[in-house]
């Protein structure tokens, strides 16, 4: 049973048109992460939430925003997607304690026309 | 800062061959170490983990031992299968409050019948 669910699996949007990706979890984990992964590269952390505490990575573009309305859901908003934002976006969760692994969803593949 | 170095791929093996994927790390303190596997078009799945020196993580025939003296966490499997073809990521967590992951660049494994 999927525990970290990302919707949709594939998303196509137009250059400059805002898009929202969603992530939900049934694990009741208090930490949630968003990663960007481009072809043949490792995932790159964009930001994460520890409960409601939002942490932005220093090099995450301002074009990327996130919302976490409750424990179960987290959203990634791309305000004005550029061609360079085409990538796989991965959501992950973690129980907020030492030595815990992160649990990943299957990702959303974003294409920009 | 923290870093993870993996051997470059692709690693190409015949079925039933022995697999080693090298991973070394640089970190302060006592990180936890992980191997994740990513099948085409999917998210990352935790393969195994080790949280302290000399721990051995194992799963599905894969093993890795946390070697603090050589700062290594090499992945091994005695007999690979075609279904093991995937990208393997070595990662560390510094066990700070937010436990962000530092990934290696990933190693693609291709197993032929």
Distance from C-alpha of B37 to C-alpha of B85, rounded to nearest angstrom:
10
Compare CB distances from B43 to A40, A42, A107 and report the shortest one's residue: A107
**Over the stretch B57-113, which tens digit does the pLDDT of each residue have?**
999 999 999 999 999 999 999 999 999 999 999 999 987 666 789 999 999 999 999
Name the stretches of chain A with pLDDT < 50. none
Q: What are the tokens at A87?
A: 């990538």
Helices (H) and strands (E) in chain B, counts: 0, 12
DSSP type of residue B67: B
Q: Is A105 within 8 Å of B43 when comparing Cβ atoms?
A: yes
**Over the stretch A33-65, which tens digit does the pLDDT of each residue have?**
999 999 889 999 999 999 999 999 999 999 999
Q: Is A31 within 8 Å of B49 when comparing Cβ atoms?
A: no
Degrees (nearest 5) of the Cα angle A8, A9, A10? Answer: 90
B96/chain A closest Cα distance in angstroms:
7
Burial of B24 per CB tally in 10 Å (0-12, 13-18, 19+): middle
Q: Is B103 within 8 Å of A42 when comparing Cβ atoms?
A: yes
Chain Cα centroid distance, residue B11: 14
Nearest to B104 by CA among B31, B2, B1, B3: B3
* Cβ atoms of A82 and A107 closer than 8 Å: no
DSSP type of residue B10: -
A7/chain B closest Cα distance in angstroms:
13
What pLDDT does residue B98 have?
Answer: 65
Give the number of beta-carbon pairs within 8 Å between A and B.
55
Helices (H) and strands (E) in chain A, counts: 0, 11
């Amino acid at each position: 049973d999927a525990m970290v669910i990302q919707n949709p699996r594939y998303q196509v949007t137009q250059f400059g048109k805002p898009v929202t990706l969603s992530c939900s979890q049934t694990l009741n984990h208090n930490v949630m992460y968003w990663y960007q992964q481009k072809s043949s590269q490792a995932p790159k952390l964009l930001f994460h939430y520890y409960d409601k505490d939002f942490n932005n990575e220093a090099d995450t573009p301002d074009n990327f925003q996130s919302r976490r309305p409750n424990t179960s859901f987290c959203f990634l908003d791309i305000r004005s997607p550029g061609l360079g934002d085409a990538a796989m976006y991965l959501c992950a969760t973690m129980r907020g304690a030492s030595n815990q692994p992160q649990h990943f969803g299957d990702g959303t593949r974003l294409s920009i026309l | 800062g923290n870093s993870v170095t993996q051997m470059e791929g692709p690693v190409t093996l015949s079925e039933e061959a022995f697999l080693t994927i090298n991973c070394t790390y640089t970190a302060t303190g006592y990180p936890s170490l992980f191997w994740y596997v990513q099948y085409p078009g999917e998210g990352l799945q935790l393969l195994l983990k080790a949280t302290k020196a000399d721990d051995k993580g194992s799963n599905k025939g894969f093993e890795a031992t946390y070697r603090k003296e050589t700062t290594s966490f090499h992945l091994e499997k005695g007999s690979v299968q075609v279904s093991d073809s995937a990208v393997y990521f070595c990662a560390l967590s510094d066990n700070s409050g937010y436990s962000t992951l530092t990934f290696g660049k990933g190693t693609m494994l291709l197993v032929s019948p």
